[in-house]
Structure formats: structure tokens, C-alpha cells
């Protein structure tokens, strides 16, 4: 395995958590290299469902180490809550959670700014998760950010936050209740900082020693290709690179150390938040996918928009990331379909020269299989038409499918 990466190949929510959970069985270390608490990775083990936002999904395996890399927008308050939830499940994070001192910190001020910018943007709002991600990365690039290493000096940090609060007050008119909430949020922030400081570690040296020892590392991407700040549907994107190129800079390794890059695709498409979505289905089929697939955002509980698989964007995702294998998730959600469409290309050009909002998809129609795939454990257990659907996707994307997921449970996976 050495270093294997898992990358979301659509608009996020592809089921990366489930694939990371499967692969983490053989991993010694699972790392995050970008994003923050805007991610929502759901893992179901037995009757218990866990939603993780910052801690990599590997934490549910008792001996796996987990690392939050320098490329992240790190939220101490969110992390403290997540640690408590994991401890309630009888697992400990002590000794196996490692946070980079170079990661940028999301403060309560970033969350206020995020919500304020969204509310003030009206129809131009991005539909962010309001987790402070955009404002935190804005500070990073503007060279005014706070990094994890700065959290060790509480006095200096308080001075910085007082002056940042004054600046924010000049920009926005905060109502009295919000002012009071900010005071209590800042105290909660300092409390959480105390809880997470013991986990700060020299993550660069740790990763390199794992690599030297030939141990297995899994890099867990968050969001997806179409939410990438450079390559996605800008400005309806997140605030960092979500694609494979960021693995190296988000962790502090050379690109040559990445052995495998698995692109995770849902067998149809979904998107939360605003922005163009060429294959969106605003009809009964879209509603069926939404209901049957329980398509609600794991972070914000918003209804996800649903549509057909878009191989025009899929091929683009393959190019940008250099996927070495694919994982196709939620095949079972298509079980009841009479027919299934795949967008093979756009009639009027190619993204990104073509504006996605103008894209006119051309569809290939395949017959549905109308049979349950939930209990399939091998490819040959699948109905022939389900195999035909997967084969068509593989032919269009020109990358081998390595995993097919047919349900939320750990056992519901076909490894090829
Ligand atoms: P996972 O890791 C789906 C979307 C938001 C919004 C845009 C910008 O679970 O796949 P942000 O808060 O990042 O500034 O919001 O990006 N978004 C996601 N959509 N899955 C995610 O993460 C997402 N993280 C952000 O809905 O459209
Ligand atoms: Mg998600």
C-alpha cells in the first residue's frame, strides 16, 4: 500500500468515509491534508453510525494513528467535540492523534465572517457550510492567519484575537446577542485549545519515518474535484485544492511518494450548496435518488441535489488527479431504476472552456437491473445489467474500478 490517497471525484459526499474505513484496515496511519470541519464522512459499523468532520475515518480502528496535516483549516472546537464523541464510543485518541503545528486555525471570528458573507451575498451566495473555511484560508493567503503553533502562547493569542475582533466590528455591525455569543464562543475556543495542544506533533517527521519504515499510509481527501478552488465550478467551490496535487504540499512530502490515487465516484451525482450542475434532475427521478439514497448533507443536514452520472466531468477528474483506480459507491441506490442515464459528453463544448451553467449534456441510456445488489460480495454476484453499467463507466473513464460499494455496512463492498 505505502501511500494511497482517496480523492472525491465529484462534488463531495461520494462515500469517501466508507472507502477509507475499508482501506484503513491495512493502514498504520490515516492523514488529512486539506479542508476542515466542512467535511462530513459517515461510517456505519453494525448499528452505529459515526460522522467525522476532521479526524480521519481510521480513528475507528483501535490501533490506527491519525494525522491532521498542515494543509488543513483546523477547528479546535470541532475537534474537541469529535474527540469526546469518539471517547463516548469507548475508543481513545490518546497517543494516536497528531496535529501539524503548521495547520491554519479556524477561530469563532472566521465562522461569523463566513455566515455574514453568505447572508450578505443574496442570490450570489455559495451555500457554504458556514464552518469558517473560506475566511480561514483567506487569512492564510493574506498572511494574517493563526497557525496551530501560535496556540501555545495564550497571552499573545488573546491579544491577536482582540485586535481581529476590533477589525471585524469595523466591517460588520454585530447585534448585541451576537456580541455576547462571540464572548462565550471565544472562551469555548480557548478551552478547546487546551484540550487539543497535547496532540500537536512534528507531523512531517512522523510521516517520513512511517514512509522510511515501509508502513502503510492512507491520505483521506475531503470535498471533491468540482469543489477544488482551481479546477472546480468556481466560485461555487471550497477554499482550497481538493485534488491530488495538494497531497504533497498539504503534508510535506514529495509527489513521488504517492503510490496510488483512488478516485471515489457515487454511481450517480449529488451536490449540496449552490452552483451549476449539468446533469441535475429536478423531477421524480431526482426525488427518488434523494430519498432512496438518504441524500442529506452530513455536516449541514441540507437536502442534496441529485442527478445522473456525469462522465464528461468524470474524465476531467481522472485527468487532473491521475487516478490509478476507482471506487464506485451507492450502486444499490439505482436498484429500482427502469433505465439509467450517463452523460457521456456535452454537446456544446468541454469544461472548463465551456461554462458549466451552459453545458448541454448528451446521454447514453442503459436498462436498469431492478434487483437488489445489497448482498453482492463479488462482481459475479451482481445482475448482468449492473455489471454492464459499471463496465460502461469504466470504459468511459478509462480507469479500472477497484471497489464497488452496495450499502452503508462494512461488509457491503466488492473488492476487485
Ligand atoms: P465531504 O468531505 C459536499 C460545499 C458546500 C458549498 C461549498 C463551499 O463530506 O465530501 P465551504 O464551507 O467549504 O466554504 O463551502 O462546498 N462543501 C461540500 N459539499 N461535501 C463536502 O465535504 C463539502 N465541503 C464543502 O456545500 O457548496
Ligand atoms: Mg460528506
Residue nearest to atom 3 of ligand 1 (CA): 12
Does the CB atom of residue 8 touch ligand 1 within 6 A? Answer: yes
Query: Last residue of some domain: 196, 213, 239?
Result: 196
Are 82 and 110 found together in one domain? no
Residue nearest to atom 5 of ligand 1 (CA): 128
The residue behind cell 446577542 is 177
Residue nearest to atom 13 of ligand 1 (CA): 238
Are 334 and 395 found together in one domain? yes
DSSP E strands in 103-241: the ranges are 104-105, 217-220
Are 268 and 337 found together in one domain? yes
Q: What is the pLDDT of residue 174?
A: 86
CATH number at residue 10: 3.40.440.10
Mutate to test the pocket of ligand 1, among 106, 121, 273 (most ligand atoms within 8 A of CB): 273
Query: Last residue of some domain: 166, 196, 226?
Result: 196
Q: Name residues whose C-beta falls within 8 Å of residue 301's C-beta, 6 or more positions apart in sequence.
A: none
Residues with catalytic roles? 13, 41
Atom of ligand 1 nearest to the CA of 14: 10
Are 150 and 268 found together in one domain? no
Are 295 and 352 found together in one domain? yes
Are 32 and 146 found together in one domain? no
Q: How far is the CA of 30 from the centre of ligand 2 (A)?
A: 17
* Among 390, 411, 385, residue whose Cα is nearest residue 400: 390
Atom of ligand 1 nearest to the CA of 299: 9
Are 288 and 250 found together in one domain? no
Q: What is the pLDDT of residue 300?
A: 87
* Among 330, 396, 346, residue whose Cα is nearest residue 366: 396
Does the CB atom of residue 222 touch ligand 1 within 6 A? Answer: yes
- At what angle are helices 176-196 and 76-88 packed, to 10 degrees? 60
Are 248 and 328 found together in one domain? no
CATH number at residue 109: 1.10.300.10
- Measured in degrees and rounded to the nearest 5, phi and psi for residue 402 equal -105, -25
Q: Name residues whose C-beta falls within 8 Å of residue 124's C-beta, 6 or more positions apart in sequence.
A: none
Rounded Cα distance between 12 and 133, Å, is 15
Mutate to test the pocket of ligand 1, among 227, 228, 240, 276 (most ligand atoms within 8 A of CB): 227
Q: Mean pLDDT by 10-residue block, N- to C-terminus, for the chain (416 residues)?
A: 92 95 94 97 88 93 96 98 94 96 98 95 95 98 98 97 94 88 95 97 97 97 98 98 98 97 98 96 98 93 96 98 98 98 98 98 98 97 98 98 96 96
Q: Residue 321, class by beta-carbon neighbours within 10 Å (0-12 exposed, 13-18 middle, 19+ buried)?
A: buried
Side-chain half-sphere CA neighbours of 26 within 13 A: 9
Are 234 and 170 found together in one domain? no
Long-range contacts: 278-284, Cβ < 8 Å, 24+? 278/307, 278/310, 278/312, 278/313, 278/343, 278/346, 278/356, 278/359, 278/360, 278/361, 279/307, 279/308, 279/309, 279/310, 279/341, 279/343, 279/361, 280/305, 280/306, 280/307, 281/306, 281/307, 281/308
Q: What is the pLDDT of residue 1?
A: 55
Question: Residue 49 forms beta bridges with which residues?
Answer: 44
Does the CB atom of residue 332 touch ligand 1 within 6 A? Answer: no
Range of the domain at 278: 264-415
* Among 386, 358, 356, 360, residue whose Cα is nearest residue 371: 386
Does the CB atom of residue 276 touch ligand 1 within 6 A? Answer: no
The H or E element spanning position 3 is strand 3-8
Are 289 and 390 found together in one domain? yes
Rounded Cα distance between 72 and 222, Å, is 10
Are 382 and 272 found together in one domain? yes
Q: Which three cell numbers stand for residue 75?
A: 477547528
Rounded Cα distance between 214 and 78, Å, is 32
Does the CB atom of residue 135 touch ligand 1 within 6 A? Answer: no
CATH number at residue 281: 3.90.170.10
Does the CB atom of residue 131 touch ligand 1 within 6 A? Answer: yes
Q: Would you mind telling me the total number of residues written for the chain in this entry?
A: 416
Q: Name residues whose C-beta falls within 8 Å of residue 251's C-beta, 6 or more positions apart in sequence.
A: 31, 33, 69, 70, 71, 203, 204, 207, 219
Q: What is the pLDDT of residue 45?
A: 87
Number of domains in the chain: 3
Rounded Cα distance between 247 and 71, Å, is 8
Query: Last residue of some domain: 172, 196, 220?
Result: 196
Rounded Cα distance between 387 and 64, Å, is 34
Q: How far is the CA of 321 from the centre of ligand 1 (A)?
A: 19
Are 55 and 177 found together in one domain? no
Amino acid at each position: 500500500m505505502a501511500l494511497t490517497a482517496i480523492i472525491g471525484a465529484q462534488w463531495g459526499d461520494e462515500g469517501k468515509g466508507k472507502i477509507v474505513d475499508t482501506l484503513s484496515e491495512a493502514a498504520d496511519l490515516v492523514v488529512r491534508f486539506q479542508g476542515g470541519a466542512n467535511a462530513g464522512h459517515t461510517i456505519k459499523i453494525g448499528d452505529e453510525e459515526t460522522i467525522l468532520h476532521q479526524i480521519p475515518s481510521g480513528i475507528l480502528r483501535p490501533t490506527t494513528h491519525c494525522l491532521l496535516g498542515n494543509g488543513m483549516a483546523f477547528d479546535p472546537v470541532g475537534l474537541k467535540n469529535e474527540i469526546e464523541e469518539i471517547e463516548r464510543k469507548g475508543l481513545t485518541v490518546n497517543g494516536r492523534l497528531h496535529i501539524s503545528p503548521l495547520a491554519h486555525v479556524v477561530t469563532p471570528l472566521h465562522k461569523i465572517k463566513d455566515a455574514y458573507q453568505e447572508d450578505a451575498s443574496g442570490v450570489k451566495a455559495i451555500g457554504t457550510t458556514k464552518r469558517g473555511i473560506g475566511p480561514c484560508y483567506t487569512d492564510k493567503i493574506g498572511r494574517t492567519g493563526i497557525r496551530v503553533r501560535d496556540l501555545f502562547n495564550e497571552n499573545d493569542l488573546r491579544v491577536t484575537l482582540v485586535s481581529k475582533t476590533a477589525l471585524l466590528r469595523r466591517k460588520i455591525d454585530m447585534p448585541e446577542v451576537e456580541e455576547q455569543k462571540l464572548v462565550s464562543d471565544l472562551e469555548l475556543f480557548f478551552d478547546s485549545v487546551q484540550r487539543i495542544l497535547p496532540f500537536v506533533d512534528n507531523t512531517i517527521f512522523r510521516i517520513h519515518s512511517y514512509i522510511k519504515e515501509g508502513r502503510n499510509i492512507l491520505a483521506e481527501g475531503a470535498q471533491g474535484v468540482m469543489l477544488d478552488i482551481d479546477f472546480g465550478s468556481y466560485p461555487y467551490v471550497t477554499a482550497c485544492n481538493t485534488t491530488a496535487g495538494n497531497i504533497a504540499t498539504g503534508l510535506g512530502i514529495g509527489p513521488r511518494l504517492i503510490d496510488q490515487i483512488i478516485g471515489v465516484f457515487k454511481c450517480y451525482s449529488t451536490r449540496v450548496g449552490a452552483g451549476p450542475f449539468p446533469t441535475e434532475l429536478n423531477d421524480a427521478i431526482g426525488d427518488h435518488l434523494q430519498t432512496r439514497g438518504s441524500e442529506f448533507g452530513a455536516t449541514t443536514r441540507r437536502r442534496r441535489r441529485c442527478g445522473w452520472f456525469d462522465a464528461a466531468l468524470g474524465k476531467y477528474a481522472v485527468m487532473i488527479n491521475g487516478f490509478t483506480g476507482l471506487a464506485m459507491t451507492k450502486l444499490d441506490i439505482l436498484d429500482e431504476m427502469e433505465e439509467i442515464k450517463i452523460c457521456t459528453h456535452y454537446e456544446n463544448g468541454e469544461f472548463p472552456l465551456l461554462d458549466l451553467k451552459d453545458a448541454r449534456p448528451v446521454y447514453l441510456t442503459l436498462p436498469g437491473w431492478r434487483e437488489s445488489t445489497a448482498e453482492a460480495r463479488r462482481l459475479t454476484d451482481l445482475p448482468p445489467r449492473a455489471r454492464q453499467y459499471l463496465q460502461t463507466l469504466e470504459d468511459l473513464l478509462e480507469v479500472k474500478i477497484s471497489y464497488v460499494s452496495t450499502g452503508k455496512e462494512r461488509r457491503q463492498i466488492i473488492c476487485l
